[in-house]
Amino acid sequence: MKKIKVTRKKKFAGALMPYWIIVNERKSIFMNDYALNGDICDITSSGVPVARISVEELDCLGTRIMNGQTIEMELNDDISTMFISTMDGTLSNEINIDEFVAFEKPIVINTKGGFKNLSYPVIE
């Protein structure tokens, strides 16, 4: 078993939007399964992004992390990749977990974008 610590930085942009840590499949397969062709999603007339994946599905697929929260995760040894998803379908970069485990380095999730642009997760 691998142990990793994941921290989501506290940011005002996207503060109320939960992120999900996805570790059980590759990002490319996830994008194909949910027909996520890039980060473009529909926007309502008031400028709010329309969810492309249901909260219930994301809760089954990954681990929810809120703004400013730190989570310690135990993962099977065969799991080696991680990315972050929002219900809008915006995805972070995909990382190799083993590089962080080898150096006992915590994984930090940041939020980019903001009020003029759609906010999205980035793993630093």
The 10s digit of each residue's pLDDT in 27-78 is 999 988 888 876 566 666 766 666 778 899 999 999 999 999 999 999 999 9
Sign of the four-CA dihedral 90, 96, 97, 101: negative
* Residue 88 pLDDT class (50, 70, 90 cuts): confident
Say what the pTM is: 0.88
Domains by residue range for the chain, with CATH: 2-118 (2.60.40)
Question: What gap in Å lies between CA 58 and CA 20, rounded to an integer?
Answer: 7
Tokens of residue 114, six digits: 């903001």
77, β-bridge pairs = none
